[in-house]
Amino acid sequence: MMKFNQLFVTLTATDNQEYGYRIPFSSGLNIIRGDNSSGKSTLVNSLIYSLGMEEIIGSKGNASLPYALKDRFDLNGDNKSIIGSTVYLELENQLGKVITLKRAIKSSEVDTKLVQIIEGAYLTNPSMNTLKSRYTFLHDGGSAQDEEKGFFAYLEKFLGLNLPRISDNKGKEAKLYLQSVFSAILVEQKRGWTDYIANIPYYGISAMREKVAGFLLDLDVFRNAKDLNELQSKRSKVMTLWSELVSEVKISTESKYLSVSGLSKTPSIDFDPRLVFITERNGAEAQSFELVKKGLQNGMQVIIQNEASQFSGESSDLIKEIELVQNRVDELLTMQSMCSSQIKINESQRSQYIENLTSIEDDLRSNKLTEKLVKFGADETDLDFVKGKCHTCLNPIDDILISPDSMAMPMSLQENIVHLSNQKKMISSLLGGLNKNIERDQGQLLTINKELVKTSKELTSLKRDIKSTTNIKEADIRRKINIENRLEELNKLEEMLEKSLQSLVKLSAKYKELNASILELSKSSFSPDDMYKIRDFSYEFKILARTFGYRSAVVDEIEVKPQTLLPYLKDLELREQVDTPSELKDKNSASNTDIKSDSSASDFVRLIWSYLIALYKTSAKAGGNHPSLILFDEPAQHSMSTKSVNQLLKTLSTTKGLQSIIVASFDENDDNYAVSIAGLETSSFVTKRLPRKIITKL
């Protein structure tokens, strides 16, 4: 998935001479041999820095690099002061596409957050000309999200990876960053040999070792964990919506002096709206909602019949009043129609404004990211917007609104940002005014509707009164009004209940579906494919541990636990010297001495070798996500035996598809080096011997 072709570092000294080093890489095993203080760490750190992965070695920017790359260096006893330095790295992906990364180490013009991506073999094929390039940025907001201008997002896509979203320690969704993954393939000397996957930058996410290992192996459980979190989050939302709806129903019914039963506070997977009952209590008795409404309707009918029995003829004054009220009803209906139409027009205009505002915000965001590149030192004349290319599709923009005869110049980047900002303010202002108009019209419509209901009721009453006499009792009138109001309340409540119950039915079905999905995922967190990969990983790990001469425990008694993807012995993570069950027969208690501090400290390093190489082997066989590259800086820690180093080099040289880089001193001993490479096919590796000092005159 990734292969280094060449690393090139150039330094400009105060004598205006160019210095630096050039390190070519081949497929397979690359051995970079150098004496102590020759600059091996300088090489490794500059390589890690060129990829933007310097957080692995402790910090962001050139603070992670030695002074020899940014301040001064020694050349044959002569101190040279540096005025500028740059690192280039040419790399290739699985599709054969080659790019060259260019990043400043020390510069008065360019920020270290800027990475220029040159499309092509800029280092290994200097005869190539007219190479395209683009500027990207890193260690700043958007660098892992924007594929066009964000370096990490670009590199992720270039490597063919699809980094998943995971949950951080606060339950929020976060990305598995590329830097975390690279911690498992780039192992530097100072801190890299302290854990199976050491130096993972802290992003507020726990259990990162197993997350990185799970991603490299492409385990289903890795995706399942994310899916499980998403399902549980959706279920929580359903439960919240259910609780809110139930509370709303209870408050609405109780405010009408009714009570509701059959609704639980938590969702039910078999909710039946027919089992929800609304009742009105009258002492010890409870009347159903239907009986309450029927009783009111019967009472209204009695009053109407009494009015009809007292009919004494029509009144001319009453007829005139009916005409006036009817005219007002007609007028209100006209106003209602006009107001509704205006609201629809304004809402349509608002949708257009929102669409325009979204487009402007996208353009403004793109221009601000471009401005960030310029701020970090990118040449403004090299950017797409100056070359007349669309930010989104990168196609040429042939048609512009400026007349061919016009002397007007296209806007600069800053002018464009100001223009778009002003456009955003203008549209936002128009949108704000339109929202106020819509709110005003909706308020007016509400007032019209309220008056229309009131006037319509008045008209209905007048039409009834024309059939009645002046002998109607005031008590009957009051009773009639009360019944009408109560019936209106109950009708509105019934309408609200019907909608709410329909929503609860849908939520119940969704809750049942989510519960089933969660149960299915929770039954077995590991798919059959996962278990196969984990067994294969464990097998490869044990084979390698045995090959590399691990002696601190019986290898067959080691198990890789699926939950953590780490090796265990007797339920203890294999980081400490512990006795095997067979050894316990001869000893009274187990020793818990840390391997890294006792005479077998090198055994823990053998386990790290085994672990990281097994990750690649298993991933390669299963089509996982490993970048197919490993760099080990001084792997022979803690006086490691040359026999173990020899087995490591043999393993790496014969592992298909893996580019491996070993940077080591071999104790500055030719015999140690000869023993370490004994038995290796000469065609299976290349050795680069560093000079006494890696930085030389170019």
Cα–Cα distance, 515 to 299 (Å, whole number)? 49
pTM for this structure? Answer: 0.71
Residue 575, pLDDT above cutoff 80: no
Residue 594, pLDDT above cutoff 50: no
How many C-beta atoms surround the C-beta of residue 632 within 10 A? Answer: 26
pLDDT tens-digit readout, 131-150: 899 999 999 988 988 888 99
Q: What per-residue confidence (pLDDT) applies to 629?
A: 97
Residue 436, pLDDT above cutoff 70: yes
State the average pLDDT over residues 645-651: 96
Cα–Cα distance, 555 to 526 (Å, whole number)? 25
- Dihedral angle computed from the Cα positions of residues 150, 154, 155 and 159, in that order, rounded to the nearest 10 degrees: 160
Q: What per-residue confidence (pLDDT) applies to 62?
A: 92
Residue 558, pLDDT above cutoff 80: yes
State the average pLDDT over residues 370-387: 71
- CA distances to 64, 95, 197 from 649, rounded to whole Å, are 29, 27, 20
Mean pLDDT of the chain: 85
Q: Based on DSSP, count helices (H) and strands (E) in the chain, helices before strands.
A: 14, 21
pLDDT tens-digit readout, 500-553: 999 999 999 999 999 988 887 766 668 889 999 999 999 999 999 999 999 988
Which position has the higher pLDDT, 540 or 406? 540
Whether the CB-CB separation of 119 and 126 falls below 8 Å is answered with no
Q: Exposure string (b/e) for 34-44, b if CB count within 10 Å is 16 or more? A: bbeebbbbbbb
- Band of the pLDDT at 272, cuts 50, 70, 90? very high
Q: Residue type at 81?
A: S
Question: What whole-number percentage of the chain has pLDDT above 90?
Answer: 49
- CA distances to 249, 252, 259, 428 from 281, rounded to whole Å, are 17, 16, 8, 54
Residue holding tokens 């078999």?
Answer: 270
Residue 321, pLDDT above cutoff 80: no
Cα–Cα distance, 163 to 263 (Å, whole number)? 43
Domains contained in the chain, CATH given: 1-161+678-697 (3.40.50.300), 162-219+527-626 (no CATH), 222-307+475-525 (no CATH), 316-467 (1.10.287)
Residue 386, pLDDT above cutoff 90: no
pLDDT tens-digit readout, 209-267: 999 999 999 998 767 776 777 888 889 999 999 999 999 998 988 888 788 888 888 89
End-to-end distance of the chain based on CA atoms, in angstroms? Answer: 32
Least Cα distance to 611 among 208, 166, 193, 201 occurs for: 193
Cα–Cα distance, 167 to 146 (Å, whole number)? 21
- Band of the pLDDT at 588, cuts 50, 70, 90? very low
Cα–Cα distance, 404 to 388 (Å, whole number)? 15
- Band of the pLDDT at 397, cuts 50, 70, 90? very low
Q: What per-residue confidence (pLDDT) applies to 474?
A: 60
Residue 576, pLDDT above cutoff 70: no
Residue 475, pLDDT above cutoff 70: no
Angle between helices 474-523 and 220-255 (to 10 degrees): 170
